[in-house]
Amino acid sequence: MLIIPAIDIKDGKCVRLTRGDFSQQKIYLDNPLDMAIIWRKQNAKMLHIVDLDAALTGEMVNFDIVAKIVAELDIPVQIGGGIRSLEAVKRYLDMGVGRVVIGSAAVTDPALVGELMKHWPASKIVVGIDAENGVPKIKGWTESSDMQDYELALRMKDMGIERVVYTDISRDGMMQGFGYESTKRFAEKAGLKVTASGGVTNSEDLQRLASLRPYGVDSVIIGKAFYECNFPCQELWYNFEKGICLDKNYSTARRK
């Protein structure tokens, strides 16, 4: 089970939301690059980044910040949030992003997904399905679609998509455990590779999530639980590495 730390960027800062509510925002670090370095030094093998500003506006507001993270790290970076055109996908992939996550556009402009699959392999294009009670939400989780989550997944599968990032919105940022039943139901019906997201709170959740591997759930994105140091030994590592990363001479020294 690949564990992927999440970095959500809003107004240029590293934040976490509760159930996608922009009014319930907590800032963890002013510089998302510092946070990326922390997760890498704690042995992350991949990062998941969301441009929350872009999710609302469709504009690549935090592109330069993402570029700095990609240039600094030696692991794949997955990016989502407001990616609604072939040009946006090309800019990210040309920059060196490992794969892009198409969210709202999979609902509002499914032809875009078909076009993307003509230009890049399935390993580069992922669809993000953020669902509440089985209904996908779009545009920063402010609107509902007219289909079920698995129906959207099957449409994307027909277009050549092989992986979905699946988020149970009711659990996201709540620190009350992940949506085991909703994730299992979705994975069974979709028949795709699934990266689970939303609600993983502790190591017990991870162990339970691992039981879904036969259904295609092979990875998980963890956000707030990491930021709140909910895993053994993590608080010690976090405080130590945070001190190093905020040293103004750290980045320069690292590259020598």
Rounded CA-CA distance 237/147 in Å is 43
Q: Are 61 and 54 in contact (CB under 8 A)?
A: yes
- 216, 184 contact by CB (below 8 A): no
Question: Do residues 179 and 171 make contact, with C-beta atoms less than 8 angstroms apart?
Answer: yes
Indicate the burial class of 10 (C-beta count within 10 angstroms; 0-12, 13-18, 19 or more).
buried
Which one from 34, 51, 53, 130 is the annotated catalytic residue?
130
Q: Specify burial of residue 253 (Cβ count, 10 A radius: 0-12, 13-18, 19+).
A: exposed
Distance of CA 254 to the CA centre of its chain: 26
User: Is residue 8 among the annotated active site residues?
Assistant: yes
Please report, as a single letter, which amino acid is at residue 226.
F
Beta strand segments in the chain, E: 2-10, 13-18, 21-29, 47-51, 77-80, 99-102, 125-132, 135-138, 143-144, 163-168, 193-197, 217-222
Judge contact between 14 and 49, C-beta under 8 A.
no
CB 127 within 8 A of CB 79: no
Residues with catalytic annotation?
8, 130
